Amino acid sequence: MKTKSIEKILQPIRHHWVGDGFRVNNFFPSNYGISMERMSPFLLLDYASKHHFPPSDTPKGVGVHPHRGFETVTIAYKGSVQHHDSTGAGGIIGEGDVQWMTAANGILHKEYHEKEWSKQGGIFQMVQLWVNLPATYKMSKPKYQAIENHSMSKYELENNKGVIEIIAGEYKGLKSNTFTFSPIHLFNAKLNKKAEVTFNFPTNYNTALLVIEGEIIINKEEQALSDHFVLMKNDGEEFSITATENSIVLIMSGQDLNEPIASYGPFVMNTREELVTAFDDFNNGKFGYLED
Ligand code: MN
């Protein structure tokens, strides 16, 4: 089997704020020359590395904003995220949990630190990953999948090496219950020091890693430290990760949708025309209403 090798390893050096609650490093598509097409079906990765927030009675976060044409996947590693949307839905993404939101034809929402967590303050760490929808599903109805940690499929590695939490897709025959519109694998590899594991995805699947915790060596040759992003080449199927500390690694791999992408801010469609329609619909209140 051919090895999937490393294309580049990126440092988290370009933070910006999303609202006042999310201090993120955008690994794609903005800062490092990795386009939405290159990572398809993944569109955007915002990583809020560990940041301490002092106690606040008013939860910090980002106010009302729309999305159309894709899905947002929010993974809470430390701290807790609350959300609220124009369909009346809302909820809490607790530590270790994942929310898979299909924005599809349109939603207005706000995202902020969970109220009680905000009062205490503490270290906050999360990921938001945007996943594109195939053209045929872009205007389908919005929905949520709340993927609580206890309900995730978990592959226990032998010899106390750790566990692979399967947020979506499949690892060594163990499947997740998460519904995806195109083939996607998304894992949290929670590895004990010295553990070595292998991953295997089709050569043409766009694949990347994010080191959430600890430090690792990939393919027994290159080291990636905490908070670093690793883009893999589409030149083979298999790669290995060796944890040199207790580590958590977010692993994403997916099949290219191979459809044109037209994006502007919170809208990701296939054509310019559909973007204009998205703006018109938004301005005409077709995304519903949500109080700030
Ligand atoms: Mn949002």
Ligand 1 midpoint to CA 72 (Å):
7
Per-residue pLDDT tens over the stretch 31-80: 899 999 999 999 999 999 999 999 999 999 999 999 999 999 999 999 99
d(CA 92, CA 164): 23
CA of 10 to the centre of ligand 1 (A): 25
**pTM, to two decimals:** 0.97
Cα(109) to centroid of ligand 1, in Å? 6
The domains of the chain are located at 6-255
Measured in Å, residue 22 CA sits from the centre of ligand 1 at 11
177 C-alpha to center of ligand 1: Å? 23
Question: Does residue 58 contact residue 119 with C-beta atoms inside 8 Å?
Answer: no
Q: What is the tens place of the pLDDT at every residue in 87-145?
A: 888 899 999 999 999 999 999 999 999 999 999 999 999 999 999 999 999 999 999 99
pLDDT for res 20: 95
Going from the Cα of 201 to the center of ligand 1, the distance in angstroms, rounded, reads: 29
Summarize pLDDT for 204-259 with one digit per residue, the tens: 999 999 999 999 999 999 999 999 999 999 999 999 999 999 999 999 999 999 99
CA 110 to centroid of ligand 1, rounded, Å: 6
In the CATH scheme, what is the code of domain 6-255? 2.60.120.10
What is the pLDDT, as a whole number, of residue 71? 98
Q: Extract the tokens encoding 226.
A: 């905490």
Find the mean pLDDT for residues 272-285.
96
Please, are residues 282 and 251 in contact by the beta-carbon 8 Å criterion?
Answer: no
How far, in Å, is the centroid of ligand 1 from the Cα of 111?
6
Q: What is the pLDDT of residue 69?
A: 98
Q: What is the whole-number distance in angstroms between the Cα of residue 224 and the centre of ligand 1?
A: 29
Residue 267 CA to ligand 1 centre (angstroms): 11
Q: How far is CA 227 from the centre of its chain?
A: 14
Q: Would you state the pLDDT for residue 291?
A: 83
Alpha-carbon span 18 to 63, nearest angstrom? 10
**When comparing pLDDT for 158 and 30, which is higher?**
158
Residue 271 Cα, ligand 1 centroid: separation in angstroms?
22
Average pLDDT of span 192-214: 98
Instruction: Encode 76-86: b = buried (16+ Cβ within 10 Å), e = exposed.
Output: bbbbbbbbbbb
For residues 96 and 215, give the distance between their C-alpha atoms in angstroms, rounded to a whole number: 20
Decide if 198 contacts 238 (C-beta within 8 A).
Answer: yes
Q: How far is the CA of 67 from the centre of ligand 1 (A)?
A: 7
- Separation of 210 CA from ligand 1 center, angstroms? 21
Gap from CA of 44 to ligand 1 centroid (Å):
12
CA of 162 to the centre of ligand 1 (A): 32
